[in-house]
Structure 1
Amino acid sequence: MNVNHEIELLVQEIERLGNKNAAGQTSVKFGVLFNDDRCANIFEALVGTLRAAKKRKVVSFQNELLLQGVHDDVDIVLLKE
C-alpha cells in the first residue's frame, strides 16, 4: 500500500464531500466520509489513512482515534489543498 497515494486520494474525497469553513479551509464530518460509498470502495482502512494524513499535517481533527457512530460529527479539516 502506498501511503502517499492513499493520502492524495483522501484529499480528493475531502474536497469532493466537504465545504469551506469560516477560515476558508475545506472540512467534512467524519460520518459523511465514513458512510460515503465511493470512499468505502477506495479506502480499505479509512481511519488508518486519516491518522497517516494527520501525522503528515495534511488534515486536522480533534480525537486521536475516530470511531464510526461515536465520532460522526467530528470535523476533518484539510490543511493542505
Structure 2
Amino acid sequence: MNVSHEIDLLVEEIQRLGSKNANGQTSVKFGVLFNDERCANIFEALVGTLKAAKKRKLIDFQSELLLQGVHDHVDIVLLEG
C-alpha cells in the first residue's frame, strides 16, 4: 500500500469515527483511532501514517510523537475534507 492511499484511508476513518469540534472541523481522539478494530486491520503503522498526513498538512495534533496509552486523549483534527 502506498502512503497516499493510506492517508486517504486515514481521512475516511477520521470522518467515520470523529465528530465536529467547536471550529466545525472533524476531530477524533488518538485512542479511539488506535483501538478501533477496523483501523487496526487497515494500518500496519498508524503512527507513521498520522505523521505523513500531518506533514502534508491534512491533519493536525498537538504532539510530536503519539504513543498508545500516554496520548489516547490527544485530538487529531482533520484540516480538509
TM-score, normalisation: structure 2 = 0.99
Partner-residue secondary structure (3-state), 1:33: helix
Q: Which runs of 4+ in 1 moved over 3 A?
A: none
- Return 5+ residue gaps in structure 2 as ranges: none
Task: Say what the alpha-carbon RMSD is for the aligned residues.
Answer: 0.4
Residue 72 of structure 2 aligns with which residue? 72
Partner-residue secondary structure (3-state), 1:77: strand
Identity %: 81
> Hey, what's the Cα distance between the residues in 1 that align with 2:45 and 2:23?
29
Residue 36 of structure 2 aligns with which residue? 36
Partner-residue secondary structure (3-state), 2:27: strand
> Hey, what's the Cα distance between the residues in 2 that align with 1:57 and 1:48?
14
CA deviations 1:23-79 (Å, max 9, x no partner) are 000000000000000000000000000000000000000001000000000000000
- Return 5+ residue gaps in structure 1 as ranges: none
> Hey, what's the Cα distance between the residues in 1 that align with 2:58 and 2:3?
12
TM-score, normalisation: structure 1 = 0.99
